[in-house]
Amino acid sequence: MTLDKVTQGQTATIVRINGDGAIHQRLLDMGITKGTEVYIERYAPLKDPIHITVKGYSLALRIAEAKMIEVTA
């Protein structure tokens, strides 16, 4: 499952990040690493981007990026 499939108010655990290059590095730098729990805080008023809580802080990312992140519920 990828992160964009997780509904608001749910928690998921990161399995891996697909993709490469700058965006991959950026997600790693922001704490999107294997085994980390993410909580789906809310979707933006237009359903995209997503507001998540990771490592105790708030992060906004687009559905397109969320699709790169594999998670388990």
Residue 10 C-beta: closest distance to another protein, Å: 16
31 touching another protein, by CB under 8 A: yes
67 touching another protein, by CB under 8 A: no
- Applying CB under 8 A, the site for another protein has a residue count of 32
57 touching another protein, by CB under 8 A: yes
51 touching another protein, by CB under 8 A: yes
23 touching another protein, by CB under 8 A: yes
3-state secondary structure 10-71: CEEEEEEECCCHHHHHHHHHCCCCCCCEEEEEEECCCCCCEEEEECCEEEEECHHHHCCEEE
65 touching another protein, by CB under 8 A: yes
